[in-house]
A and B are shown apart, each in its own frame.
Chain A
Amino acid sequence: MSDLLYGVITGILFGFLLQKGRVLRYDKQLGALRLKDMTIVKFMLSSIMVGMVGVYFLSDLGLVKLSIRGINLGANILGGLTFGIGWALLGYCPGTSLGAVGEGRWDGLWGIAGMLVGAAIYAEAFPVMQSTVLTWGNLGRITLPQLLGLNHWLVIILFIGGSLALFRFFEKQGW
């Protein structure tokens, strides 16, 4: 029960910040895809930078356990490309579609309905995917630091450095 309570509290905090950052809107999401407005990229990279430092710090102290997703090149690449097409048409991602409805942009409801249908279709196609795409380039549960053979803090510092350089570029461009 407390697990479900933590879920809704975390969602409220996260949704509040997504809305304050103005990243839920179609115009912001398409603005990024059209290289006109990088608000969502600023928000995402800031969130990832802070999150990766905190989570790895707690992991080093043995206070949390990382949840590593398997790398599966075929599925990651084909799925990513497919997601991108759908995202550009819809203008919301799975989480932000709910947030968009929360701030009154109810075209998100069409997207939610479509995504439920897409999930049902994927469930039908899953056995076929398991014997095809999901076997292509399966590298197992590895992280970037493991793949590169580097200490994770070095990778984190490089990621932060790259993100800050990107932010500087965005601000110069007026994006």
Chain B
Amino acid sequence: MPLKSSHDGGWNPYVAGALSGVVSILSVWVAGRFLGASTTFVRTAGLIESLFAPERVAQMELFRLEIPQIDWQWMFVVGILLGSLLSSLSDGSFRWQAVPDMWAEKFGSNKLTRGLTAFSGGVIAMFGARLAGG
């Protein structure tokens, strides 16, 4: 199996995926931490709300279970951004882009249309993710 996939300079997704599985094993073994991301959005929303209404946040049931603070997963999520930045700069695939190619083909290159749809999708996706427990 070739490490490089031919067209876009990326790695073979089976190889990159399997290596990410090794990272997840090491994380559980060394740090006792399972990979996840969505709880971080709850904690961060709580941190932001605490700036305006700390008493109210302290009384909310969900923020008592998922305390608004910077924890392992919060740092993991920030790390994903840094790792992606390093990787994309190292192979020249970094591209400052507001509208994805596939979106532009179907819906045009208006940044605001894409932005509002992405924002709405984010609201719905996170509500669902938290409800499902993921």
Contact = CB atoms under 8 A, between A and B. Distances in A.
B21 interface: yes
B131 A75 contact: yes
A87 interface: yes
A15 B122 contact: no
B46 to A, nearest CB: 7
A20 B89 CA distance: 11
Contacts of B2: none
A23 B17 CA distance: 10
Given A8-B82, A18-B83, A105-B95, A122 B17 contact: no
B83 A12 contact: yes
Contact of A110 (B18, B25, B119): B119
A83 B123 CA distance: 9
Which secondary structure dominates chain B's binding surface? helix
B72 A7 contact: yes
Contact of A106 (B14, B96, B123): B96
Interface residues of B, number: 94
Contact of B23 (A3, A17, A64, A76): A17
A10 interface: yes
Q: Chain A: interface residue count, which band? A: 35 or more
A89 B114 CA distance: 9
Given A79-B134, A123-B42, A102 B119 contact: no
Which secondary structure dominates chain A's binding surface? helix
A89 to B, nearest CB: 3
Interface in A62-97: 63-65, 67, 69-70, 72, 75-76, 78-97
Given A7-B74, A79-B134, A80-B132, A27 B102 contact: yes
A134 to B, nearest CB: 8
Interface string A107-126: 11011111111111111111
A167 B71 CA distance: 36
B84 A79 contact: no
B6 interface: no
A87 B21 CA distance: 23
A86 B126 contact: yes
A65 B34 CA distance: 10
Interface of B: 5, 8, 10-11, 13-35, 37-38, 40-42, 44-46, 48-49, 60-63, 70-88, 91, 93-103, 111, 114-134
Interface of A: 3-27, 30-31, 39-40, 42-51, 54-55, 58, 63-65, 67, 69-70, 72, 75-76, 78-108, 110-127, 129-130, 133, 167
